Amino acid sequence: MAEDATPSATAGALDPSETRQLLDLPSDLLQQVLTQLVHDELSLLRVGATCKTLSELASAADLWRPGLTRFFDGEVPPALATCADPQRELREEVLCAQRLAAKERKARSFQVVDVDFPNIRAWMQALDDRVAEAQMKLGGVRYASARPGCPYYGCSGGAYNCTTLAYGKYVKGVMCNGSASRYEGISADEARLTVWLLAHADERPEETDNGKGKGTKPKVAASDKAKAGTADARAPHRSAAVVRTALSECDYGPMAEWKDRKLAELAEQAGHKQLAARYEEERLAAVRAGILYQSSYEDVNIGQAKWPPCPDALSRPKLLAGLYGGLFGLEETATSIGMIYALACPADGSNIVDYSGM
């Protein structure tokens, strides 16, 4: 008899004659219904806008935390790991991203703050020591130039690559040695250094340029991102002079047009047709105006998509934030003959590379 009691009670609680509306369901079942929307932020917002009861239920932190995690590509900044209101935080990140995008268009300069890597010189030297040791063990003509502490990275010497990704108020810097993990005993994690920076805790004036797509920051090699190697990467930049931004020395015009075209393409692939149409209309308007995408060098190479983007990489908040929602990584590679600049789309592996700094 006890086994029959629970089904009977449940059937009585959900009697169709008594359950005519969504709000007639018990709160725990309502919560389960809403969990089906954790991958659809827009639907969650629409449900929450219907009434006070659903507004409270649809604002639950557990429903919005996955969306916040997706916005940051699965790695939330340490400062937000335990935030109490992920819905509000996600909204603030998107709004900050849109303000930065507007500043970028006005200044014709990417508004992504450069990251200072603490103790970068010591980290690089320790890694170089291990690479050199591995090369000398391998021997042969290829590694004949390797010696203790000085590995051979080819004629260009461009082993270290700095990638900067913007996520609203936050910036993620990744310094990577693309050669080190090829050698036995060095893992990919050991060849990569990651730093999170709260870069836009407050609003800052955008940098202006000279009309040629160039910024005001002096060239800084990817191998020399930290001046003294002791910067506090958790604190926002507070320079009274110039805020250093990534790719400020690149040929902005073609990079920006590729990025804007790609953003419309990604929105279309994600099924957000209205958003895609708006982005494409804005791009075409900029082309007709003839200023935003002007090029000084036209020395770029475009790499095609390598894989289809996964849905989580193209959530609506990320698409609304664009470059400032982690959809594009800003890359700088220092070589013996100059700098190589690139914008890369992690969602599908496509990129545009600018050789104007060579």
Contacts of 93 (CB under 8 A, 6+ apart): 71, 167, 168, 169, 170, 317, 321, 325
Query: At 246, phi and psi to the nearest 5?
Result: -70, 145
pLDDT of the residue at 15: 56
Per-domain residue ranges of the chain: 103-119+156-182+190-354
**Whole-number percent of the chain with pLDDT over 70:** 82
Closest CA to 212 of 270, 245, 154, 251: 251
Going by pLDDT thresholds of 50, 70 and 90, the confidence category of residue 108 is: very high
Confidence tier at 235 by pLDDT (50, 70, 90): very low
For residue 6, what pLDDT band results from cuts at 50, 70 and 90? very low
Flag whether the pTM goes above 0.75. Answer: yes
The least confident of 130-139, 152-161, 336-345 is 152-161
Structure tokens at 3: 């086994």
pLDDT value of position 208: 45
pLDDT over 50 at 228, yes or no: no
Of 294 and 8, the structure prediction assigns the larger pLDDT to 294
- Read off the pLDDT band of 25 (50, 70, 90): confident
Specify the range with the lowest mean pLDDT, choosing from 25-39, 91-105, 130-144, 219-233. 219-233
- Is the CB of residue 341 less than 8 Å from the CB of residue 332? yes
- What would the mean pLDDT of 167-195 be, rounded to a whole number? 94
- pLDDT (mean) for 136-153: 90
Q: Residue 217's pLDDT is what?
A: 42
pLDDT at 2: 44
pLDDT digits (tens, 9 = 90+) for 282-334: 999 999 999 999 998 889 999 999 999 999 999 999 999 999 999 999 999 98
Q: Which pLDDT belongs to residue 240?
A: 34
Share of the chain above pLDDT 90, in %: 69
Backbone angles phi, psi at 5, to 5 degrees: -70, -45
Q: What is the token pair recorded at 20? A: 């005519």
pLDDT digits (tens, 9 = 90+) for 197-222: 999 887 544 444 544 444 444 444 55
64 has a pLDDT exceeding 70: yes
Q: What angle do CA 97, 98, 104 make, to 5 degrees?
A: 90
Burial of 355 (0-12, 13-18, 19+ CB in 10 A): middle
| Greater model confidence, 29 or 155 | 29
Whether the CB-CB separation of 114 and 244 falls below 8 Å is answered with: yes
- Looking at residue 17, its pLDDT comes to 54
Asked whether the beta carbons of 291 and 210 are under 8 A apart, the reply is no
Q: Is 268 exposed, middle or buried (0-12, 13-18, 19+ CB in 10 A)?
A: middle
Q: Is the pLDDT of residue 83 over 60?
A: yes
pLDDT value for 201: 82
DSSP H or E segment with residue 96: helix 86-107
Helix (H) or strand (E) holding 330: strand 325-335
Q: Which residue has the higher pLDDT, 138 or 9?
A: 138
**What are the backbone angles phi and psi of residue 223, rounded to the nearest 5°?**
-85, 5
Which carries the bigger pLDDT value, residue 353 or residue 240? 353
* Residue 14: band (very low, low, confident or very high) from pLDDT cuts 50, 70, 90: low
Mean pLDDT of 261-288: 97
